[in-house]
Amino acid sequence: MGDTVRLCAREDVESGTAKRFDVDGRAIALVRIEEGFFAVGDTCSHEDYSLSEGEVLTEEREIECWKHGSTFDLLTGEPRCLPATKPVPVYKVHVEGDDVMVELP
């Protein structure tokens, strides 16, 4: 188990959106879908673009890279369509009261 770091308050991220956080040298996209939170590496594995600027696909539980359209599974980090072929990192998220925490490896 790694270090657990507070990213934000629950209300700082609206449902159906993503927000970027820079933590300990890592760019992390925190995604909220209703009351669930997901954290993935914020950089698309295809090219160097921020995933948090893309669309959150709530039904599919994916985030789309705004530049080339690759989507990534929020649970596994696996790409779901081309041009990306490599996964992005996934981080465990804990909600403690009003705080959203991420576990770093």
Chain segment 43-88, per-residue pLDDT in tens: 999 999 999 999 999 999 999 999 999 999 999 999 999 999 999 9
Q: What is the pLDDT of residue 2?
A: 77
Both ends of the chain: CA-CA distance in Å?
7
How is domain 4-103 classified at the architecture level of CATH?
3-layer Sandwich (2.102)
Is the pLDDT at 1 greater than 80? The verdict is no
Query: Does the pLDDT value for residue 13 go beyond 80?
Result: yes
Token look-up 């997901």 returns 38
**Residue 15 scores a pLDDT above 80:** yes
Q: In the chain, what are the domain boundaries?
A: 4-103
What SS3 class is residue 46? Answer: coil
pTM: 0.95
Distance CA 17, CA 58 (A): 9
Question: Cα-atom radius of gyration of the chain, to the nearest Å?
Answer: 13
Quick one: pLDDT at residue 85?
Answer: 97
Mean per-residue pLDDT over the chain, rounded = 96
Span 4-14, average pLDDT: 97
Residue 85 near residue 97 (C-beta atoms within 8 A):
no
